[in-house]
Amino acid sequence: MSVEPLHPVPEELFAYRDGELPAERRAFVETHVMACRVCREQMDEMSKLEASLRAQPDTVGDAYYDRMQAQVMAKIHAAAPPSRAPIREVPLERRSDDREERRRGAPKLPWIAVGSAVSAMAAVVVVVVLLVRQSSMPQVAVLERSAPDAGRRNAVTDTSEAGGQLAPSPSEAPMAPGADARAKERQLAEAPQTKQQTPPTDQGALAPRAEAKKDKANEVGDEKLASRPESDLMAQRSVAGLSKDEAVQQAAPQASMAPPAAAAGNRYESALSRFGLPPLWGPGVSDDLVLRAEPVFRNLYRTGGATTPLDSARVRLYLAEAERLRAGAAPDSAAIDEIEHHYQRAIRLGRDDPATVSTAAQRLRDFLSEIGATP
């Protein structure tokens, strides 16, 4: 007697589709979705509904936005200029704490500043000594030379360091929470790197604030489309290929859970080298590779991991190609919208790179021609 497989709860199913499911649950949901047409259809239907919402035409035009821009700038000019702190590349908490310290009247208690300086110097000395000792250890040297993913390890290191470089909540502009809360959140932000075993629950820990800041590329003004379900791709995979792909798939949510500093690195290049892809999509690139790399590119797209406009453009190009492959010969209207949108953005974002622009423009023309639309 066969046992009916349990469907994942909708929370997990949608979180999986959104790339927000913790790694330890992702494998279960992914395995289920691969085998369950009902769940795949549910995810696909939701993607289409959300794509339709995003595709709603604006109720205002360019003139309206021009006027709004002028009004905002007039208000800014009319208001007293904020006292701008000099640009310092230091953790926000520290800046905030510095201000807190000044408010508390540091001059009244100069020994605090002296003590802090001495402590900081002592910490630096300890760190330097440790580093020197570690560098002399042979196994570390071997790792440094042989690890193929040294860049990733560096990223993790950067990430954990970035736990202390959390951007403040925008809402802190009007109402700043206490430094204690920020310190707690900093600890939580570091947590996913070392233990991603705790699925989020209503009683679960607060979200790491760091993650709150990394969910969108610097492509502002962009009508973003949802992360598309991977159902079609997954259905195509053979069971034999699962273990290899799982590693790829699981890399995406882990990256998405990582604090944002990881996004500040060259994650696009890292993704390319992981899959052996060229910087710019071309006709010779394997379809299978494009499909396998898609979750990682989609994650870059959502998290702002592609930090330059050109990288963003190229990520868009790969996403358009992946979507075309998944949509097949008869894409539905939502897929057409998405593919065209990605190409258009690739053209715009890559405007300084003729190769990117011409590739994206040509692919867009080909696509429109394939579906019988007028370019």
Residues 203-242 that bind other proteins (CB under 8 A): 203-209, 211-224, 226
* Other Cβ atoms within 10 Å of 269 Cβ, number: 13
Interface with other proteins includes 112 (CB under 8 A)? no
Q: Is 201 in the site for other proteins (CB under 8 A)?
A: yes
Smallest separation (angstroms) from other proteins to the CB of 258: 12
Dist. CA 107–CA 112, nearest whole Å? 9
Among 5, 41, 71, 137, binds other proteins (CB under 8 A): 71
Of the candidates 1, 87, 239, 329, which one interacts with other proteins according to CB under 8 A? Answer: 87
CB of 42 to other proteins, least distance (A): 8
Q: Is 82 a residue that touches other proteins (CB under 8 A)?
A: yes
Judged by beta carbon, residue 11 or residue 370, the one nearer other proteins is 11
Q: Interface with other proteins includes 26 (CB under 8 A)?
A: no
> Is residue 338 within 8 Å of residue 51, measured between CB atoms?
yes
Q: Which of residues 271-330 bind other proteins (CB under 8 A)?
A: 302-304, 307-309
Half-sphere exposure of 247 (CA within 13 A, CB side): 5
Can you list the alpha helix ranges (DSSP code H) found in 328-353?
A: 333-349
Does residue 141 belong to the site contacting other proteins (CB under 8 A)? no
- Asked if 168 touches other proteins (CB under 8 A), the answer is yes
Beta strands per DSSP E along the chain: none
Q: How far apart are CA 211 and CA 258, in angstroms?
A: 7
Residues 336 and 364: beta-carbon distance below 8 Å: no
Sign, CA dihedral 309-315-318-320, equals negative
- Name residues contacting other proteins, limited to 31-60 (CB under 8 A): 45-46, 49-50, 52-60
6 near other proteins, rule: CB under 8 A: no
The C-alpha angle with vertex 337 and arms to 331 and 343, in degrees rounded to 5, equals 100
Tokens of residue 91, six digits: 């953790």
174 binds other proteins (CB under 8 A): yes
Nearer to other proteins, 291 or 306 (CB): 306
